[in-house]
């Protein structure tokens, strides 16, 4: 598939799930490292097994977004179930101070909200897990809305982005993860 097709798929999924303006100028690359074998690289809309998402992902970017800094967010708009998303969005990751180094996003600071592995409950349809890349402005470094003890439930990425002046996302991707089959 071509980059334009990935971005097109991503736009449709994100626009339907989040109250956010999404006109990507790049593609966020997300890879989940594996204990055995190569990492699993996401492609927009790929289905990933729960067990393949145990370790925190790494990030890269395709497209001209500049050197950074950037904020990366991962949200689940289908919590607790995709049939009844009353707790959405669930925040699975929020980190700042990412810099673009040869198309790899690197960061040496702790995440604002550490990675939480996807775990859709039994009986739910597959959940969408959406990753977004924002340009980080100075307001993010001083934000006090989210910290390590803030609940990950009922997070709203569009309200948060507005409150800390992140603007519209520059890039993103998404995956589906279904509950483990019995």
Give the CATH number, domain containing residue 31.
3.90.280.10
Tens-place pLDDT, residues 141-177: 888 898 888 998 989 999 999 999 998 899 888 899 9
Q: Is 35 a member of any domain?
A: yes
Residue range(s) defining the domain that contains residue 110: 3-177
Q: Is 48 a member of any domain?
A: yes
Q: Is 182 a member of any domain?
A: no
Q: Is 102 a member of any domain?
A: yes
Res 16 pLDDT > 80: no
Q: Is 60 a member of any domain?
A: yes
CA 104 to chain centre: 16
The per-residue pLDDT for 15 is 60
Long-range contacts of 17-22 (CB under 8 A, 24+ apart): 17/77, 17/78, 17/128, 17/130, 18/75, 18/77, 18/89, 18/130, 18/157, 18/158, 19/156, 19/158, 20/132, 20/157, 20/158, 20/161, 20/168, 20/169, 21/168, 22/168, 22/169, 22/172
Tens-place pLDDT, residues 79-114: 898 888 888 889 999 999 999 998 899 998 999 999
Mean pLDDT across the chain: 87
d(Cα 81, Cα 110) in Å, to the nearest integer? 29
d(Cα 74, Cα 97) in Å, to the nearest integer? 15
Q: Is 114 a member of any domain?
A: yes
The per-residue pLDDT for 81 is 87
Percent of the chain with pLDDT over 90: 55
What is the b/e burial string over 8-37, where b = at least 16 CB atoms within 10 angstroms of the residue's CB?
ebbeebbeebbebebebebbbbbebeeeee
Confidence of residue 178 (pLDDT cuts 50, 70, 90): very high
pTM: 0.91
Domain count, the chain: 1
The per-residue pLDDT for 99 is 96
Q: Is 74 a member of any domain?
A: yes
Confidence of residue 48 (pLDDT cuts 50, 70, 90): very high
Check if the beta carbon of residue 36 is closer than 8 Å to that of residue 97: no
Q: Spell out the residues 6+ positions from residue 59 whose beta carbon is closer than 8 angstroms to its own.
A: 28, 29, 30, 31, 72, 98, 104, 105, 131, 133
């Amino acid at each position: 598939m071509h980059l334009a097709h990935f971005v097109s798929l991503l736009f449709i999924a994100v626009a339907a799930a989040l109250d956010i303006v999404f006109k990507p100028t790049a593609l966020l690359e997300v890879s989940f490292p594996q204990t055995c074998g190569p990492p699993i690289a996401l492609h927009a809309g790929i289905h990933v097994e729960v067990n393949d998402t145990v370790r925190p992902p790494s990030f890269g970017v395709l497209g001209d977004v500049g050197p950074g800094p950037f904020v990366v967010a991962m949200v689940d708009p289908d919590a607790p179930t995709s049939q009844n998303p009353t707790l959405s969005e669930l925040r699975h990751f929020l980190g700042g101070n990412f810099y673009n180094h040869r198309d790899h996003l690197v960061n040496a600071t702790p995440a604002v909200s550490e990675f939480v592995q996807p775990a859709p409950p039994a009986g739910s349809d597959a959940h969408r897990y959406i990753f977004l890349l924002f340009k980080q402005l100075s307001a993010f470094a001083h934000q006090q809305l989210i910290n390590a003890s803030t609940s990950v439930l009922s997070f709203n990425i569009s309200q948060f982005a507005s409150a800390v002046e992140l603007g519209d996302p520059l890039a993103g991707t998404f995956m589906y993860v279904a509950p483990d089959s019995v």
